Amino acid sequence: MSDDPNGIPQEQYERGLTKRTQVMGEAYVGAALDPDAFGADFQRFLTAYAWGSAWGRGNLTDRERHMVTLAILAALGREKELEGHIHATTNTGVSERDLSDVLHQVAVYAGVPAGLSAVNTARRVFAARDAQNEQ
């Protein structure tokens, strides 16, 4: 039974919201979930299914699942989403060394341009993080 006009079970959405906030951070999720913005129903769907179902599964830790996610985003060249997930590595225990190892795998299996693009995205994120920490 669904509590949502689009058929999304409320419990699944809430589980997803908790996991998404845990991984991506409250500010990121709050900005994404503007109920009055175009795509609000898509964000609700994404929260319930990507975060409530996929990220909510057992067996893999959040760290492991995050490394898989980073590899897929890098391999597909989804730089904007990759950037957000690189920011979130501090929330899942993925170290810079872990990310470097993941991006080496991406370069071997998805191609050097994909790996290099992801490395450059990581450099930008880390530089911004370092600059913010210095303030």
- For Cα atoms 46, 88, 106, give the angle at the middle one, nearest 5 degrees: 85
Within 13 Å of residue 90, how many CA atoms lie on the same side as its CB?
9
The pLDDT profile of the chain, 135 residues, written as one tens digit per residue, is 456 777 889 999 999 999 999 999 999 999 999 888 899 999 999 999 999 999 999 899 999 999 999 999 999 999 999 999 999 999 999 999 999 999 999 999 999 999 999 999 999 999 999 999 898
Q: 71: buried, middle or exposed (CB in 10 Å: 19+, 13-18, 0-12)?
A: buried
Closest CA to 106 of 76, 85, 81, 86: 76
